[in-house]
Structure 1
């Protein structure tokens, strides 16, 4: 089913499926923020750079096939599928009940003991999905999350002006 909203044609079935998938890995506040950004035509962009503090290796939430991990049983399922995740140990829970992990490859200086062999999730940190899960960047982190109008949207708007 298609309908127009805010000057844009939307495929309701596809958009509902996308929203439900987002809801599964979001906190209630994160989901509301996601919807708010969608209505404004904005997205989250990661800015800044790594300061090498190692904080993200000392207290990190992990995401599995069914969202952010809340139980050690879900961690065991991930490790069965991806043995390299065995390097993470549970150190507690965050304020939303998600498990917090520490990477055993993190040295006392806050660096990775095998930087070239680090996991893809470490290479991509931080991802914008952290915002929607209700997470935040740790104090001292050199990265920031910015709400921006996506480049494609700006480009489309400018191209319409030239026609």
Structure 2
């Protein structure tokens, strides 16, 4: 039974490394609304009305694809969280790896201590 469970539920990805405190994940956050990335300030305003947790973020700019980037208001000048104990689920889950994130081309930041690797190659899944 464990064999089948492992075949079905084993993650395709593994995370290696550890946080080195660069703060990039706190300064380059993207959010989704209705299965697309937030690209307009009006969309962000709607998110804030829907859920108060979005009040903890400010717009930091846009990436090369026109997606809004957000910065956490709790990040201090030394890249430390002023509200670590009560930090957001986004922060607690980072780096959260899903097929949607990977297929969307998202990677960890160059300065990040975490790296996302393929857990098994394709042939191993066929066994």
TM (normalized to structure 2)? 0.76
> Partners of 2:17 and 2:34 in 1: how far apart?
28
> Partners of 1:142 and 1:79 in 2: how far apart?
31
Change (3 A) 1:48 1:63: farther
Computed over aligned residues only, the root mean square deviation of the Cα atoms, in angstroms, reads 2.3
- Paired residues for 1:19-98 under 5 Å: 43-98=12-67
- What residue in structure 1 maps to residue 4 of structure 2? none
Consecutive unaligned residues of structure 2, counting only runs of 5 or more, are 1-10
Is 1:121 aligned to residue 121 of structure 2? no
Is 1:142 aligned to residue 120 of structure 2? no
Change (3 A) 1:99 1:111: same
> What is the CA-CA distance between 1:143 and the residue it aligns to?
0.5
Is 1:110 aligned to residue 79 of structure 2? yes
Could you give the per-residue CA deviations for residues 35-94 of structure 1, whole angstroms, max 9, x where no partner exists?
Answer: xxxxxxx82332221112212112221233423211212211211121121121112111
Moved over 3 A (4+): none
> Partners of 1:53 and 1:122 in 2: how far apart?
14
TM (normalized to structure 1)? 0.61
Larger fraction in helix = 1
> Partners of 1:45 and 1:62 in 2: how far apart?
23
Relative contact order higher in (CA < 8 Å, ≥ 6 apart): 2
Does the 8 A contact of 2:57 with 2:72 survive in 1? yes
When Rg is computed on C-alpha atoms for both structures, the one with the higher figure is 1
> Partners of 1:112 and 1:65 in 2: how far apart?
29
Aligned residue pair count: 113
